[in-house]
Structure 1
């Protein structure tokens, strides 16, 4: 027979037969307590859990003898005089710098028998101090750890003895050295609970049940996410650079468009300059003639003050007329603002300005130019100079289209109307020959023109401006003749 896992102090070799072999173990209580003091160097008291049965009293005496060298270092409290209920209260109220060493609890002071691990489990649930032991069977649940009697070491020795006996070796001749503590191992969860640093552990210790960090647990997932974020960041950066470049290009394109629109309007001003000069000549000539008249009146011995006052009023009236003509001319030459900066503008006001600017030219060409339709303000969000530019381009093209018409049939109308969804419709129509159907879709193309000296920019610029503000512009022939 093989006796195994028997503490060497409990083996009675004299009573063994020649067919018996023993695999003893050696419990080093001093090393077990010193382990507590190593990992918890501030410990001042160790409560040793031991019951009242004879075997427990035996081990109480053995433990007391083993830890005598530590008498000046730490105090010991024994539980053999406590019932288990009192033991639980004691463990729950331990002062700081305390530890518990679990030996045995078979019978408590009240005579209650405890079986299995139930007592240790209940103690662990209420204790306010860490629990240590040498028994590996408790490791992973209730104890912190340290040097333990490993079941695997004992099992290997036992198996080796059994093999030797099966091979014919006499059992009484097999002498086995006692199995001692294995390399220290500790429960990471209990270390975290009681604030035990890994730096305090004995050299060569193993830490088990360590919870993986987020990086260790999800390394590949985190790496994939970081890689995806890196790629996404690179793409976002590239898109931002592209967007910045595109905005710069759009800004430059808008500026160039504004310059082209301004040059086009300046060209129109040049074309209309003769009409403006003619209009401006009338009030300036009137001012000169009235001034001569005033001079004549003042040269008399008795100046007629009433007539002089009338002359001065006439001069002021002529001056206001000239100022109005110059104001219209300046408005035509004014550089437009950025189309992104929109403002509420009265469309009927822009039409009135256009009619005023074109009136002299229309009279010169013998064209009847008038507006009709919606009365009162027509508010739209657009730059007033842009609206004026579109109206001038369309009306000028309409007058150009009627150059071969008899003078009494030349009519240009600008009509306004309110449509659904608060939309405004403006129609510029003429009484000319109309637009050939094969080119009607091309007249708004840049540089398209049928005029000998045309630039092909007027209608193209008109479309650009209308598109800028989200509008729509098109051309069609009228059923009664002409185009719109």
Structure 2
């Protein structure tokens, strides 16, 4: 019974697992394609978990531009996937979509195809079959040039840099269309057919008041293949003018930045379309989408390098790679230390004040105790004192009062009957201090009531 149950469950589990083939026009390890690859896989797995299996193929068109390569790649796929059941194919970039529009039905009859990385120009003159839908990317270069003119109002010359591959030329065609309205404001020169060494020399000696707009460079004028990101790094290192870009993956490689589109977000939009199909929706019921995945992103280091005023950037711009100032790094430590210092200082001041108050109280108490002790001793002496020794003992008592209470002089006086005149009967004065007058009026002295 258990064996029969397992045999019944296994086909259901295999049926539930989805198989997705990703087809790239170039090496999927290229930085931009790697981002799309990662975002596609992450988005599928976030919904399907372990119930999805990926296959991937790279056409490597910049390395194999020969006319007959199309048939070679076709035979490769036919043999490799002859016995494989696929649920979905994702065509990454326009050339991959072109290939699948030509050969998809022969290779993978009826399998839904979702494309991404293609723009409207890739679809011109082509008919999408019912099983084909996807996400368009809106490639636009005019906003980046407009931003460059805001940051550098004195620009006179703009140099557009690109390569010679079919994709490079397609980007240049879009750029020429976008830059037409600017031709009355600046001189636009296209550096798109030079070998890399000559290109680097050209951008290193541009005239004053220049800017560079980098498109893509898969192949240079000498026929050498490049990773566009690496080509950009060479160009920004050599250029004597700011370099602007329109792809978020290029920011951080020496370019100032620009109005860029996000490959990560674009890949996720394509995955959303694919998940709808895997969830049971028919491809023909899902319209092709063109999401707005552009942002204004800039490299703070390059703004500083070229002396460009950050306040001229469009509102809402993202400035990356900002080097924090010492205050940014340590401000919480400084604030915490200052707070601790204030609290500590307050406590110390309060402790000192409390100690001073306690000392004053102790001194007052000690003085009072000495005075009371003195009165007690004097009173005791006078109780048993003979009359003949009173005057002498009074003067000795006055001396003790002066010394105990730290006075300069002290005297006993009596009022003459019916008058305000006071006569001193006994006194004691420290050496060097004038004695109390023997006769004085009582108004001359302060009285304690």
- TM-score when scaled to structure 2? 0.49
Whichever of the two has the greater Rg, that structure is: 1
Q: Which has the higher contact order (CA 8 A, sep 6+)?
A: 2
